[in-house]
Every structure is written in structure tokens, then in C-alpha cells.
Structure 1
Amino acid sequence: MKINAIVLFLFVFSLCACFDDKGNYDYREVAEITIENVPEVIEVLGNSDHIVVKPKVVSSLEGEITGDNANFEFSYKIEIKGGGTIESGQRWVDLNPAKTLDLDTLAAFVANTYAGWFSVTDKRSGVQTSATFDIKVSSPTYEGWMVLCNEGKQERVRMDMISVISAERVIPAYDVLTPLGLPELKQAKEIGFYPNRFANPADVIYVMSGEGTFKIDRETFKTDASWNIRNIDFIIPPGDENVICYTPVNNASTAGALACICVTDVGNAYVQVFDAAGAAFEYPVNTSIRGSVPEFRVAPYVGVSMARPGNGSTALLYDVDNRQFVGWKYGYDDDAMQTLTPLPDPENGLFSFKTGMELVYMESTRYSSGLVYAIFKDNAGKRCIYGINMSGNGFVQEAKYENLNAPDFDKATSFAFHSQFPYMFYAVDNKVYLHNLGTNTTFPMDNVVLGDNEEVTMLKFNLYRQCSLDDLNNQSDEFMARQYELMVGSYNHSVLDNNGGKLGFYPVDGVNNSVTKRTEYSGFAKIKDVVYRERR
């Protein structure tokens, strides 16, 4: 009996302990979480479109979970679907550091297919539920206007783009080269663009700056430090100098150019002649003897005939030390093609090629089958314009414009010459003027409306560089007319985020000496140069 009593006592004690222990736990049911409204595939344009996801999260116990529910945490991540790292060696990138329910972020990724992952975590239980989706990022760099900019006070080089996806969809994309490997550079200068149908070299695109010039891949726009022009296109790399001007010299062929000429920031010029495989820049040509030490400096301009197909085999440069024009001519003498020669004055010429003046600006056009305009300033600060025809194989003096009836022309900082009409456009602060060279009359362009805090940073006509119309994949009259629209780049200094740049497109009325705005794009940095990325 004593043993039975002990067994009974232990059984009752254990039962009581079980009842006591049960009260120490919360045996609530674990909620089932479902995720809805997450698309299977999101297609976006890199550095332009936003990746947007607005999921619906439902708990079997609490109903729909809103973004302000403190019991839940949300996360979005992305990785390359086929494997690999996205940036800085990282496989995954957090798309939403703010941990919000909805996602709306710029697709700042190179063209590729990515796997996206959305997760919901119940912070009370630690249970996580997720949904996956694909993100297809396409390139904004396939075709459109390349917009080279200086960003901020440090003048960081930045390439924006007005991407032409189709005739109906034209949208801007910003800072497209930073994720594609462009080194950190300052002081943007120009975009070098040489399209051609030769297999070697293929289309060439260069970004020029005060700290180096880099080739970018014609398809992907990728680049890196090894793509410096001195490593790619020079047989004998130049010294402490940077290429800031790069110009093709056209010829009668529809396949490609005769040569390309570049000028550096110390005033040296180099020629790349495409008459043999493996053509490259060699010795400086601003000398009278091939391979000798440069004898003078040249301005960062190269005048050529812009007629298409080209009908000239010459190039015009300016010797800033001796203040005279010098010329380059294609021929069968290799040594002669590697030197620049002062131009002799013609009999009864309009002016002397030895001008004795400071060159302010020079621009190549299609006007009169290849007229090059040059703006000069004399010792008194007065400006004049010379016109030199580059058609054929000569340097023909065609026009001289003095005593211009052009208000504030001596203060102008941006210029552009039309290829269909004898028009010069110039800008002073936030004002744009049209000067009719034929009538010596100036008209303010009141349709170009800029505020008091804005200034014009660029005027330009983007003449297509393809050698024949067959090279262009869109030959509509509307498309071809774009190259004769005045492009006005401006910057609003009251904007605080370095994105005060605008680019307006203005068709020119050759009868009424006026322009009208067709369209305008904004959000750029300070625009330095614009070139249309042509496609065959």
C-alpha cells in the first residue's frame, strides 16, 4: 500500500506540473502569408525607366497587410539571372533599403536579365514568405542623342542620352556611362563619332575630357581605363596631353572616311589615314618634317567638307602661334600626309590666310557643298567671319563678313552655322540671335525662352555623319530634317541637384528668319556637346 501511495503522489504532482507548464506558452496559430500582384516579368529601359512593384500581402489571420504594419518587414533584392556579380563584386543588390512594401526605383543596371526577389518577414515569429520575378533591362544607348555634360562645380564628366526606342517612344536616360565602366573624369570636351561601313575600324565613339579620352563600345557603351585612346589608336602614345577634338575627313566613297584627325589640349595634331590595315595615329603633324618636333600649336578645330558623300580630301586647321591657316591634304606621299602646310594666299583673294587674328570658333557645314566658317577677333576685340570652301581638293576663299550688324556679337560664347541657309546663330547669356549673313541683319530668337537664372551652354546642328542615306535605318523626311534643327543646350543655375540642363530642338524657318520649338528635354547636367548615335 505504501508503494501505491507513492505512485499516486507522483502521478498527481506530474499532472499539476503539466497544467502549470501549459500556462507558460502561447500556442497561437501561425498565419499563412500569400503574395499577389507581383508580375512574372518586368521590362524596363536601363537608367531611364523605374522598376515598379505594388504587391498585395494577405495574412490568413489578419487580412491584408499594409505597408505601415510594424509587425512586418519587406525586402527587394536583385541578381543576374544567369549568375555573376552586379556591382563591386556583389551578387545581390538591395533594391529597397527603405524596406517599404511598394517598390519604385530607377533601373540603374546594364542591359541583362535579372532575377528579382520580394520577401515579407513576420518579425514576431521570424517566418518569411517570398515571391520571385524576372527583370529584363534593355539598353538606352542603342540609338538617340548622346548628351555630354559637366556635372556640378567639379565638372564631373557625365553622359546622358535621349534614347530613341521607337518613333513613338523617345525618353531621356541619365548618367549612362558610369555603371558601364567610364573612369571618373572632369571637364567634358566633345563626343568623337565616326560611323562607317568598314569592318575595321567599325563605328567609333569617343568621350573626350580634360583628363583623358576613352573609346566606348559601339554596341554596349561599355568602357574602362584600358580603352584610353592612346592605348587603342596610337602607334606612338603621346606625352602629357589629352585629345579634345576628333574629326573624320570624308571622301567620295560611301564606305568610310579617308582619315580621322585629332587635336590635343597642348595644340598637337595627329592623323589616322585609312589606306592600310591597322591604321593608327603616329607622329604629330603640326610640323614641316614628318617625325620632327612640333613647330607650332593648332586650335582644337578641324574644318572639313560635310557634303555626303564627301567631295573633299582636305582638312583645315589653324596655327595659333603664327595666326595663320594650315592645311592637310590626302595624297600618295605618306610623308606629306603626316605634315601640315601653311596655305598660300590666292591672287586677288578676299583675305589673307595669314590672318594675324585670334581664332574664336570654326565649324564645318554642308552649305555651298562644304563651307567652313571661321570667327576671328582682332587686337581691338572686333569680330569678323571668313568662309572657306572645302569641296574638291582646294581651300577656296568664298566669303568675308566684316562690320557685322550683330548686337553683343563680341560677347557671344556659343555659335552654330546652318547648312541650308546663310544663317549664323549666336548666344549671349540667356539670349539667342539669328544673324542673316546675306543681309547683315540680326533677329532675336524670342521663341527661345530662358529665365534670368539660365544661360545657353551650347548651340549646334547635328549633321548626320553616315556616308550614304542607305546607312540610316530611318530615312523619312521627318527624320532627315532633324539634322537641320537648331539644338539649344541651356542650364538653370537655380537648380540645386546638378540637373538643371535642358535641350531644346528648333526647326529653322528660312523664309522668315525665325525658329519654333518642336520639343524639349530636361534633367541633364550642364550640356557641352550633343551627337546623334546613328544606326545602320
Structure 2
Amino acid sequence: MKKYLLLMTVVLAALSFTSCMEELGSYEYMDANEIKIDSIKGQSITQYDTLRIVPTITQSRNTSEENLEYLWYWYKSGAGENAKIDTLGFDRNLNYYVAAVPGLYSARLKITDKETGLFARKEFDISVEAENSGLLILSDLNGNANLSLLNFANIFSQDIYYAANGEYAGTNPVGIADIDNAGTDLHMIAILCADGRGGVVTEPTSFVKISDYSDLFYVMPQPIAPEAYCAVAVLYNTGMGITYDFIINNGKLHYRDFQYAAYEPLFNPEVSGDYSLAPYAILNNNTLLFYDNKNYCFNILKCSYGQLKETKLDPVPLPEGTDTETLAFDPRNVGLEMVYAAKGWKKMDNDAGYAYGIFRKPGSTDLTNMYCLRFNIGYNMSMGRDYFTPYFKHSISGATDLDKATAFAMSRQDPYLYYAYKNKIYSYDLEFDKGKVIYDTDTVVGPGARVDYLYFRPDNESFNMWAATSVEGSTEKTGSIHVLGLGRNGDIVKVDTVYRNVCGKVVGMTYKNR
């Protein structure tokens, strides 16, 4: 009897197991509904404009989108763990009125399948540009400093300082500076004039006057003769700003140090010494390089981790025991007058790379006495960790009219210097001493116009160059702005836009990011 019961138990268990196996084997498995988001790319939008995005969405199983829900959001790039997340919308297509502070934002679209809970997410960047961000243009209009703005949306606004203040910023304008330090929220526009007053400082969005040029200094320089402004800075949308900046006034260097300032500093008295600086500087975080056009030599201002160490100019560092006779040129005794210098191509890490200078023998005016010098811009030269390296010095023979040039701009993409004389723009191959005419304004704006200014936007390293022309001797608005697309061979491949008769003779340009 026990054997019979045991046998029945085994049989029933086997039948039960077989039934379970058959039941499990009867399920049909389906792939999950995969969601894909395409066609969204990083883009720029003007503040107070509407951001519109229509995504391309595909699903592996569903043809209808009724099963989907949407979430658009963003946060300020570089804000870290404490970033504030703002919701932009819940609809399939985004229509969002942008009132956010200008800067770079990390944006997301999250699409969730309501039936399964599975989701897809697309990441992209949105750059919010200020309504009046863009190219600031300072021109001499019948002797007066006239300010214009070509904004991000390609709208040209004329006479913006005069409209805000009822008067011109000064007379005999020489340059313009966008002084933007996001780290301390310092932002102002400096209009520099050679009129004995030096110009003015304005609010950056309304362009209402804040102060006079002389108010930028602890001790007013004598004479007041601004020549150039330059700064060690990075783009504001990274959350950083100016480390220190400089004004060259009457050949003398004035600096201010932001790194450890608890308040907005003013410019210090001139750096001591018997020198007269060219109105150019080669700068990155820890290389502060200047050229003395009185003693014909390169100098540095020493610093350490963003803090200036000395208030005098020092000779550039060379390896100990260097025989300067073996160098391409002696940077401590060049013996030439600087005409123009800027950072050039082959940009490397930390903004190091090549720099070029155009020089001439003191007192000479002809092309046979002009030279091209190439040298390094190491990251830590002012800290004594990098040396000044002269690469070459060659006489210039292939650059027609360079000795008479009135405007210069240096490409950071290719080894070309662009320069202008009268109605022509030239490109000059710095490595091979070859120049050519690439643009004749007579064919664009008619005879009588001359090229007054050339400009590259330094932060985006694009292939666009801005050129300004005007009719010499005119007291009217004969100034035109040409937006030119460049090829890798130094030619102009596209005339993007020409804004005709919108200003006077241009003497300065700078790009305002916010």
C-alpha cells in the first residue's frame, strides 16, 4: 500500500511539472518599444526671443505618439551639483519665450512611454545671446566718437551712444573695449579717445555713460593718451572672467589684478621704467608679453598662479647659458620697431602656440627694411616655466604695399596675415613670404572707398572676417561693414553681407558677448 501511494505521488508530481512547463512555454515575448530622438542640435537664441524646436521622433513598435509624454528642461552650464533646473515645456514641440540670463545652457528633452515607463533623452546646448550682444563698432564721424552695434540677429543699430546720452562720447576716437568679468559681475564698455579727456565708460546694455576714462585709475595718468586695452580672460559663459587687464596709455603700462580683489579694482599707476610699449600684447593665463618700441626688445610682466609678482617689466626668459648669436633673433635686443603683432595659427593646449610680428628698421618706411618674426607664446612664460623661443626672422619681399598698410588682422586658423591699403585687402602667407590681393572695394561699394579696419572675433576662431571701409575725407556716414568668408588658402570665398553707409571711419571693433 505504501509503495502504491509513493508511486502515485511521483506520477502526480511529474504531471504537475509537465503542466507548468507547457504553461510557461505558451507566452509570446515582444521587444520593448524603443524611442529615438533625432534632429536636435546645439543652437543660439537671442534673449527675449522664442525658442522653437520640432524634434524628429521614431518608435520601434508604435506609429501613434499618444503613448508618449514630454519634458523639456535646462540648467546653466558649469553650475555643478547645485544647478537650478528650469522646466521649458511639456508639449511635443517646444515653444519657449527666453527671458533667461545670457549664457550657455545644457538642455534636455526627455520622452517617456506611458505604457512601459521606458524613456529616451536627448542632450544639447543652447547659447542665449543678449539682445544687444554682437559686434561693437567705433567710428570717427566728422571727428566725433560714434558707436554702432551689429547685433547677434544681424540688425545694425546706429548712433547708440548718442541716442542714450544726447552727445558723442568724445572726439578723435582710437579704440573700444568690452570689459567683461563675469566672476565679479563687472561689465562695462570703454570708449577710448585721443582728445585730452580719454573718452568715457558706459553701461554695457543701455550704453548710458557711467564715468570718464580718468575715473578708471587710482592716479590719473599724465598725459591722458589711451592707445590700447587688453585683458587676460576667458569667455563669460564658462563662469570665469578677467584675471587681470591692462591699458597702454602714452606708451606706459597700467594694470589691475582681479584675482584676489574683494571689490572692483582700479588701474594702478604706470609700471615703472624707461620704455614705450607698442599698442599690442600677447597674453594668456601666465604669459604677459609686451614689446618696447623705445629699446626694441620683448618684455614680460611676472606673475604666479594668476597674481602679479612685480610692478616692473622684465626681460623675457631664455635658457641659462643661451648664446643669443645662435638664435633666429635676440628677443632682448631685437633692434627693430614693431608695426603689428598677434597670436597666430597652430593654437595648442592652454592657448599656447605661434605668434607673429611685423617689424621694420627704426626710421625706415620702405618694404626692403621690413621683417616677419615668429616666436612662441608658452603658457607659463611669466612664471619662469617656459622660455621665449625665436623661430625665425625673414625679410619681407612678397607682400606688396605692406609698408603702407593701414589695417591688420591675424588668422588663428591658418598662417595668414590680412592687411589693407587704400581700396585693397591682401592676404600674406607668413611662412612662405607670399602675398596676394583678395578683395577690391571698388567692385563692391564703388570707387573712392578705402579699407580702414580688419577684425576677427577672437573667441570663436571662425573663418569670417569683418572689414570696414569709408570714403576718405568725408564728413558723412560713408562707412560700410563687409562680412567676408575666408578659405583655407587665404582667399575670400564669400561676401556674406555688406552694411552700407552706416557709420564713419572705423577705428575699433570688439565683440560683446552679453
Give the TM-score of the pair, scaled to structure 1. Answer: 0.61
Residue aligning to 2:485: 507
Alpha-carbon distance in 2 for matches of 1:441, 1:334: 42
> Residues 189 and 386 from structure 1, CA distance in 2 versus in 1: closer, same or farther, beyond 3 angstroms?
same
Does the Cα contact within 8 Å between 1:304 and 1:372 map onto a contact in 2? no
**SS of equivalent residue, structure 1 residue 177:** helix
For 1:222, give the aligned amino acid. V
For 2:454, give the aligned amino acid. L
1:430 deviates by: 0.7
Alpha-carbon distance in 1 for matches of 2:161, 2:308: 39
1:340 deviates by: 1.0
Q: 1:360 and 2:346 equivalent?
A: no
Alpha-carbon distance in 2 for matches of 1:376, 1:349: 17
1:206-237 deviation per Cα after TM superposition (whole angstroms, max 9, x unaligned): 1111121322102211105xx12332x32223
Residue aligning to 1:187: 172
Query: In the alignment, which of 188, 191, 194 is matched to residue 210 of structure 1?
Result: 194
Q: 1:144 and 2:119 equivalent?
A: no
Does the Cα contact within 8 Å between 2:169 and 2:191 map onto a contact in 1? no
Q: 1:490 and 2:490 equivalent?
A: no
> Residues 407 and 421 from structure 1, CA distance in 2 versus in 1: closer, same or farther, beyond 3 angstroms?
same
Query: In the alignment, which of 363, 368, 376 is matched to residue 389 of structure 1?
Result: 376
Residue aligning to 2:436: 443
For 2:377, give the aligned amino acid. M
Alpha-carbon distance in 2 for matches of 1:175, 1:141: 17
Query: In the alignment, which of 377, 381, 387 is matched to residue 360 of structure 2?
Result: 377
Alpha-carbon distance in 1 for matches of 2:220, 2:283: 25
Residue aligning to 1:268: 252
**Equivalent residues in 2 for 1:123-142 (5 A)?**
142=132
**SS of equivalent residue, structure 2 residue 159:** coil
For 1:243, give the aligned amino acid. P
For 1:220, give the aligned amino acid. S
1:21-60 deviation per Cα after TM superposition (whole angstroms, max 9, x unaligned): xxxxxxxxxxxxxxxxxxxxxxxxxxxxxxxxxxxxxxxx
Alpha-carbon RMSD: 2.7
Alpha-carbon distance in 2 for matches of 1:254, 1:391: 24
Q: 1:223 and 2:218 equivalent?
A: no
Q: 1:199 and 2:184 equivalent?
A: yes
Residue aligning to 2:267: 281
Residue aligning to 2:229: 246
**SS of equivalent residue, structure 1 residue 203:** strand
1:267-299 deviation per Cα after TM superposition (whole angstroms, max 9, x unaligned): 1111111122233221211x2xxxxxx422222
Q: 1:300 and 2:279 equivalent?
A: yes
1:494-514 deviation per Cα after TM superposition (whole angstroms, max 9, x unaligned): 8x6511101101111004744
1:353-405 deviation per Cα after TM superposition (whole angstroms, max 9, x unaligned): 12111111222346433433221111444211222322311233344342331
Residue aligning to 2:10: none
1:147-167 deviation per Cα after TM superposition (whole angstroms, max 9, x unaligned): 100012xx2111012233x4x
Alpha-carbon distance in 2 for matches of 1:297, 1:484: 34
Alpha-carbon distance in 2 for matches of 1:315, 1:207: 24
1:251 deviates by: 7.0
For 2:357, give the aligned amino acid. A
**SS of equivalent residue, structure 1 residue 530:** strand
Larger % of strand: which? 2
For 1:338, give the aligned amino acid. T
Q: 1:411 and 2:384 equivalent?
A: no
Does the Cα contact within 8 Å between 1:141 and 1:220 map onto a contact in 2? no
- Tell me, which stretches of 5 or more residues in structure 1 are unaligned? 1-139, 288-293, 306-311, 465-479
> Residues 377 and 214 from structure 1, CA distance in 2 versus in 1: closer, same or farther, beyond 3 angstroms?
same
Alpha-carbon distance in 1 for matches of 2:423, 2:205: 37
Does the Cα contact within 8 Å between 2:217 and 2:268 map onto a contact in 1? yes
- Tell me, which stretches of 5 or more residues in structure 2 are unaligned? 1-129, 382-387
Does the Cα contact within 8 Å between 1:186 and 1:209 map onto a contact in 2? yes
1:165-206 deviation per Cα after TM superposition (whole angstroms, max 9, x unaligned): x4xxx2222111013236551111111123332134x22321
Query: In the alignment, which of 152, 157, 168 is matched to residue 173 of structure 1?
Result: 157
> Residues 141 and 215 from structure 1, CA distance in 2 versus in 1: closer, same or farther, beyond 3 angstroms?
farther
Does the Cα contact within 8 Å between 1:462 and 1:484 map onto a contact in 2? no
Q: 1:235 and 2:228 equivalent?
A: no
Alpha-carbon distance in 2 for matches of 1:194, 1:210: 19
Give the TM-score of the pair, scaled to structure 2. Answer: 0.64
Alpha-carbon distance in 2 for matches of 1:364, 1:229: 28
Residue aligning to 1:259: 244
**SS of equivalent residue, structure 1 residue 193:** strand
Q: Percent identity between the aligned chains?
A: 21
Q: 1:323 and 2:296 equivalent?
A: yes
Alpha-carbon distance in 2 for matches of 1:456, 1:431: 7
1:408 deviates by: 2.0
Does the Cα contact within 8 Å between 1:425 and 1:435 map onto a contact in 2? yes
